[in-house]
A and B are shown apart, each in its own frame.
Chain A
Amino acid sequence: MTTDENHTKAHRPNGDCPATRHTCALWRGAAILVVSAWLCIVFAGRLQASSPPPSASQVETAMIFNMTRFVEWPGESFPAGNAPFTICVLGKGELAAAVGALQGKTIKGRPAVVRQVSQVGEKEACQILVIDKSERRRLRTVLKQLNRNGVLTVSDAPRFASAGGGVGFIEVDGRVAFEINPEAVRQCRIKISSQLLKLAHIVGDGE
């Protein structure tokens, strides 16, 4: 009994092919199918103006911009008629970086200004405070210290809304969705239209 026996395959019908003739054909068919599909996609992908897929933070930024149409800030939020719409950003992460793209856009008829802040409780008025999920450990501290009057708090940190935040982004099945804590928002004297509430997952404190 030697290893050379392994090579005398005369009694087996298909030699090196995976066993039966039927399976061999399947192997070949599968190989050709896979490779042709691949080739098609390579060419189709190049012909189409294929842009990189948007990141979650880019979609969240666009959502923030869009949401402002459905939110009303209290009158005294804007000191002067031409005062800019201020978006403050806390933390360093993907969302913090992506929100910078809103600089210069027109929100509520005012030019938007994006400002990085290092701690809350600062005197400058913000209409929106975006807290990056890099600050998730500090969330409760931050929310406690913040003078929330007229500030809509938004974050991509997990369970932000149930911790007392205003709008929290979540990922469901590969898509971006958002939770809103209506009580927390109401306490900041901000009004959210029912159209926006319909699209959101409504969440209460501690849920």
Chain B
Amino acid sequence: MSPKLSLAARRHGPARWNMLFLPGFFLLLFLVAQAWGETGAGPAPLEPSDLTEMSLEALMDINVTSVSKKSQKLANAAAAVYVITQEDIKRSGVTTIADALRLAPGVQVARLDSNKWAVSIRGFNGRYANKLLVLMDGRSLYTPFFSGVYWEVQDTPLEDIYRIEVIRGPGAALWGANAVNGVINITTKQAESTIGGLVSAGGGTRERGFGTARYGFSLGEATDLRLYAKYNNRDNGVDASGNATHDDWNITRGGFRLDSHPTDQDLLTLQGDYYDGKLGETYTLFLPPALTPPTVLDTTSGVSGGNLLSRWKRTLSEKSSLSLQAYFDHYERQMVISGEKRNSLDLEFQHRFALGSFQDVIWGVGYRYSHDEFDDTFTVSFDPASRDEHLCSAFLHDEITLVPERLALILGSRVERKDYSGFEVQPNGRLLWTPTPLQTVWAAVSRAVRTPARAEQTIRYRQGATLVDTGANQQIPVVATVTGSRDFKSEELLAYELGYRSEPHPRVSFDIATFYNVYHHLRTLSTGTFIPPSASQPFGVQPQLTSNDMHAHAYGVEVSTTWKPYDWWRLQATYSYLKITTYLDTIDLSIFNIIEKGNAADDSPRNQFSVRSGVDLGRQVTMDLWLRGVDRLKFIDRSTIPGYVTLDARLAWKPQPNLEIALVGQNLLHEHNQEFISELINTSPTQVERGFYGKVTWAFR
């Protein structure tokens, strides 16, 4: 054995064992807790008389947040669901929705710079991650431009969020298009829950200044309305040497939500928002006439947008209801490399009813229209510069009770037809087994499809330029151009999932989900025919055409558990493991294909964990600690982003019932660290810094 090999073995040894140790131990611990719970050594239920002997003041001190977050829908119980509640969001100290998603297992969240995030579920993360459906009160947040989400403008006040459901795995059949690896369903509070005034404001080292004001009131017996306005100003980050970068930003937002119950069976909702912001970005551009070396440009981009949504739901009986939803969404982005304007209109109808005594059926139809206009620049242009897209879809979802209270089968499918990509069918089947009232086993097989995005079919992106020798002491610049191809087709996923959920003890809940995903026709960039320089274009063009020449296997496991050892102390832990292996289906081994292959396999961490502790110190003080770790990422030029472990802490004091003062420290274990590098369009990534902020929240009637 060569010395090099044995050295490698010695280094690999303990580290690999370490990685298995954590998941193995979790599993062992909970099998043990499960066994204990079932041997009847469990405690007797709390006698109500114990409570009735307590004084009112003592009763008002008891923390009643439960350990289990019971899913309401059967469909959700047969899937890997994690619910992030308003209290989770508040006590974690996060300031954005994207950061709140770090609370869930199986979700990869990386902050690229002060105003950009890469968020995905079960891999394939990137700023332009495209395998995730994100909904805000039923409104789809992903843009048809790249099938992903601009997280920086999803700036809803966190105090207005009721819950965030994170559903890992294909959810297209029930939830909608683009739900390949998962669905993030964000719901805001009903207007009746936010009556009165709420003002919060604060500032700190990275959150330079922020404020939210909200007021809710009744418009009559059955109607409530709330209005809000908020402003955020965030600091820039730093580069690897600690120098300030140009990514500071600010955003102003306002909106309303109206809920009305005109009759007992009807619920009418109307809501809307508008935002306007400025983002600092740094671009590396290859501009004429010289083209190379590149110019690094600090710019300010403008973003604005608004939406209006209306929804009517009528309950026909205990098991049947109708709902009709319509929304309009508009956004604009002005960046140095491109300008984009997009208007979307979406209509959706759903009907739920019982069929016989064993079946619960939901079916629906939907239509979405999207119109865009792009301002072409040298770096980014589109052919055509403006396009209309129509998407029609229908779905059917049937929950069949095979054995009452024990076994259920769910069959569903979504059928959609989108302009420029044709007809797609996304069926799924799930089985739900409840052996005891406190245990659930579920299994699912699903097919999901990611239809081509606008960019993938029509973009011309001049990504980089190099000087190439043509002999005879001549050099010409050659521009690598990512070119969208009309032949780019949908990516496909076949997913096999298995999960188990239990409450082995009244104070403990446990959830584990595993999956095996097979992807086909994943995006690659195939080398096109070289275009030599001409009079009108004095540089060579090497097109890289979007193509579907990669397939992949992915598997992993996600574990989450909640433990309340005492009424005043709550612990939550999650762990995720993910391994993706990619294979090229072409002999075209250009650097671009190698990069796409490598990115898909390594853009997401192998292991992630999160442990949170929430303590109530008396009635007025709460203390929360959040330790989380993310494994390393390997990147484009083989540079590695190291794994990191970091800590957030929050201390809050309520001197009066309607006044809260909170101090939050974020990313405490590092002065600054890198979380990601942007792929494709080159904005300079910055490092996430340690930060502190203080916040005061005051509620009044």
Q: Which residues of A contact B (CB under 8 A)?
A: 1, 3, 6, 9-10, 12, 14-20, 23-24, 26-28, 30-31, 34-35, 37-39, 41-42, 44-46, 48-56, 58-59, 61-63, 65-67, 98, 101-102, 105, 137-138, 140, 158-159, 162, 171-177, 196, 199, 201, 203, 206-207
Indicate if the CB atoms of A53 and B564 lie closer than 8 Å.
Answer: yes
B4 to chain A: which residues have CB within 8 Å? Answer: 10
B196 to chain A: which residues have CB within 8 Å? Answer: 207
Q: How far is the CA of A2 from the CA of B65 in the complex (A)?
A: 53
Indicate if the CB atoms of B565 and A44 lie closer than 8 Å.
Answer: yes
Q: Which residue of B lies closest to A10 (CB)?
A: B4
Indicate if the CB atoms of A31 and B64 lie closer than 8 Å.
Answer: no
Measured between C-beta atoms, what is the minimum distance from A60 to chain B in Å?
Answer: 9
User: Could you give 26 example pairs across A and B, Cβ below 8 Å?
Assistant: A14-B15, A16-B12, A16-B16, A18-B644, A19-B641, A23-B643, A26-B644, A27-B643, A35-B21, A41-B571, A42-B33, A45-B507, A45-B565, A50-B507, A51-B45, A59-B64, A61-B51, A62-B48, A62-B59, A102-B48, A102-B52, A162-B195, A173-B654, A175-B63, A201-B657, A207-B195
Chain B, interface SS category: mixed
3 interchain residue pairs of minimum CB distance: A18-B643, A52-B506, A19-B642
A51 to chain B: which residues have CB within 8 Å? Answer: 43-46, 506
Indicate if the CB atoms of B48 and A98 lie closer than 8 Å.
Answer: yes
Indicate if the CB atoms of A17 and B11 lie closer than 8 Å.
Answer: yes
Measured between C-beta atoms, what is the minimum distance from A82 to chain B in Å?
Answer: 22
Measured between C-beta atoms, what is the minimum distance from B3 to chain A in Å?
Answer: 11
Indicate if the CB atoms of A42 and B195 lie closer than 8 Å.
Answer: no
Q: Which residue of A lies closest to B652 (CB)?
A: A173
Indicate if the CB atoms of B507 and A52 lie closer than 8 Å.
Answer: yes
Measured between C-beta atoms, what is the minimum distance from A75 to chain B in Å?
Answer: 25
Contact of B29 among A19, A31, A38 (CB under 8 A): A38
Measured between C-beta atoms, what is the minimum distance from B15 to chain A in Å?
Answer: 4
Q: Which residues of B contact A (CB under 8 A)?
A: 4, 8, 11-12, 15-16, 18, 21-22, 25, 29, 32-33, 36, 41, 43-46, 48-49, 51-52, 54-57, 59-67, 87, 192-193, 195-196, 218, 221-222, 261, 264, 505-507, 563-565, 567, 571, 573, 589, 591, 594, 597, 609, 611, 616, 619, 622, 627, 629, 631-632, 634, 640-645, 654, 657, 669, 701
Q: How far is the CA of A66 from the CA of B48 in the complex (A)?
A: 12
Residue pairs across A and B with CB atoms within 8 Å: the count is 185
Indicate if the CB atoms of A175 and B571 lie closer than 8 Å.
Answer: no
Whether A31 contacts B22 in the complex (CB less than 8 A), given A1-B589, A66-B55, comes out as yes
Indicate if the CB atoms of B11 and A41 lie closer than 8 Å.
Answer: no
Contact of B15 among A17, A46, A65 (CB under 8 A): A17
A15 to chain B: which residues have CB within 8 Å? Answer: 8, 11-12, 15
Measured between C-beta atoms, what is the minimum distance from B342 to chain A in Å?
Answer: 37
Contact of A23 among B45, B567, B589, B642 (CB under 8 A): B642
Q: How far is the CA of A17 from the CA of B14 in the complex (A)?
A: 9
- Given contacts A10-B4, A15-B12, A35-B21, could you give 20 more A-B pairs where the C-beta distance is less than 8 Å? A3-B597, A9-B8, A10-B8, A16-B11, A16-B15, A18-B644, A19-B642, A34-B611, A41-B571, A50-B43, A52-B45, A54-B567, A56-B64, A61-B48, A62-B54, A63-B56, A101-B49, A159-B192, A173-B622, A173-B654
B21 to chain A: which residues have CB within 8 Å? Answer: 31, 35
Indicate if the CB atoms of A18 and B632 lie closer than 8 Å.
Answer: yes
Indicate if the CB atoms of A27 and B18 lie closer than 8 Å.
Answer: yes
A62 to chain B: which residues have CB within 8 Å? Answer: 48, 51-52, 54, 59
B221 to chain A: which residues have CB within 8 Å? Answer: 140
B63 to chain A: which residues have CB within 8 Å? Answer: 53, 174-175
Measured between C-beta atoms, what is the minimum distance from A161 to chain B in Å?
Answer: 11
B48 to chain A: which residues have CB within 8 Å? Answer: 58, 61-62, 98, 101-102
Q: How far is the CA of A59 from the CA of B60 in the complex (A)?
A: 8
Measured between C-beta atoms, what is the minimum distance from B644 to chain A in Å?
Answer: 6
Contact of A19 among B49, B193, B594, B643 (CB under 8 A): B643
A37 to chain B: which residues have CB within 8 Å? Answer: 611
Indicate if the CB atoms of B609 and A58 lie closer than 8 Å.
Answer: no
Measured between C-beta atoms, what is the minimum distance from B601 to chain A in Å?
Answer: 9
Contact of B565 among A27, A35, A50, A196 (CB under 8 A): A50
Q: Which residue of B lies closest to A13 (CB)?
A: B11
Whether A67 contacts B62 in the complex (CB less than 8 A), given A15-B8, A24-B15, comes out as no
Whether A18 contacts B642 in the complex (CB less than 8 A), given A159-B192, A174-B65, comes out as yes
B16 to chain A: which residues have CB within 8 Å? Answer: 16
B669 to chain A: which residues have CB within 8 Å? Answer: 26
Indicate if the CB atoms of B642 and A172 lie closer than 8 Å.
Answer: no
Indicate if the CB atoms of B15 and A30 lie closer than 8 Å.
Answer: no
Contact of A54 among B62, B594, B641 (CB under 8 A): B62
B631 to chain A: which residues have CB within 8 Å? Answer: 18
Q: How far is the CA of A50 from the CA of B66 in the complex (A)?
A: 15
Q: How far is the CA of A138 from the CA of B265 in the complex (A)?
A: 10
Indicate if the CB atoms of A138 and B627 lie closer than 8 Å.
Answer: no
Indicate if the CB atoms of B66 and A34 lie closer than 8 Å.
Answer: no
Q: How far is the CA of A28 from the CA of B63 in the complex (A)?
A: 34
Q: How far is the CA of A15 from the CA of B11 in the complex (A)?
A: 6
Indicate if the CB atoms of B261 and A31 lie closer than 8 Å.
Answer: no
Q: Which residue of A lies closest to B43 (CB)?
A: A51
Q: How far is the CA of A61 from the CA of B565 in the complex (A)?
A: 24
Indicate if the CB atoms of A55 and B195 lie closer than 8 Å.
Answer: no
A3 to chain B: which residues have CB within 8 Å? Answer: 597
Q: How far is the CA of A12 from the CA of B4 in the complex (A)?
A: 12
A199 to chain B: which residues have CB within 8 Å? Answer: 56-57, 60
Measured between C-beta atoms, what is the minimum distance from A18 to chain B in Å?
Answer: 3
A19 to chain B: which residues have CB within 8 Å? Answer: 632, 640-643
Indicate if the CB atoms of B18 and A28 lie closer than 8 Å.
Answer: yes
Indicate if the CB atoms of B65 and A172 lie closer than 8 Å.
Answer: no
Whether A52 contacts B52 in the complex (CB less than 8 A), given A174-B87, A177-B60, A207-B701, comes out as no
A45 to chain B: which residues have CB within 8 Å? Answer: 505, 507, 563, 565
Indicate if the CB atoms of B57 and A34 lie closer than 8 Å.
Answer: no
Measured between C-beta atoms, what is the minimum distance from A96 to chain B in Å?
Answer: 14
Whether A175 contacts B62 in the complex (CB less than 8 A), given A62-B51, A207-B195, comes out as yes
Q: Which residue of A lies closest to B48 (CB)?
A: A101
A138 to chain B: which residues have CB within 8 Å? Answer: 264
A6 to chain B: which residues have CB within 8 Å? Answer: 634
Measured between C-beta atoms, what is the minimum distance from A26 to chain B in Å?
Answer: 5
Measured between C-beta atoms, what is the minimum distance from B522 to chain A in Å?
Answer: 16
Indicate if the CB atoms of B645 and A53 lie closer than 8 Å.
Answer: no
A66 to chain B: which residues have CB within 8 Å? Answer: 52, 54-56, 59
Indicate if the CB atoms of B46 and A54 lie closer than 8 Å.
Answer: yes
Measured between C-beta atoms, what is the minimum distance from B546 to chain A in Å?
Answer: 21
Q: How far is the CA of A94 from the CA of B505 in the complex (A)?
A: 20
Measured between C-beta atoms, what is the minimum distance from B455 to chain A in Å?
Answer: 27
Measured between C-beta atoms, what is the minimum distance from A206 to chain B in Å?
Answer: 6
Whether A137 contacts B261 in the complex (CB less than 8 A), given A52-B45, A58-B48, comes out as yes
Indicate if the CB atoms of A14 and B565 lie closer than 8 Å.
Answer: no
Among A12, A16, A67, A138, the most chain B Cβ lie within 10 Å of the Cβ of A16
A105 to chain B: which residues have CB within 8 Å? Answer: 52
Measured between C-beta atoms, what is the minimum distance from B77 to chain A in Å?
Answer: 19
Q: Which residue of A lies closest to B631 (CB)?
A: A18
Q: How far is the CA of A105 from the CA of B505 in the complex (A)?
A: 30
Q: How far is the CA of A199 from the CA of B644 in the complex (A)?
A: 47
Q: How far is the CA of A48 from the CA of B627 in the complex (A)?
A: 26
Q: How far is the CA of A207 from the CA of B196 in the complex (A)?
A: 8
Q: Which residue of B lies closest to A56 (CB)?
A: B64
Measured between C-beta atoms, what is the minimum distance from B49 to chain A in Å?
Answer: 8
B49 to chain A: which residues have CB within 8 Å? Answer: 101
B195 to chain A: which residues have CB within 8 Å? Answer: 159, 162, 207
Measured between C-beta atoms, what is the minimum distance from A120 to chain B in Å?
Answer: 16
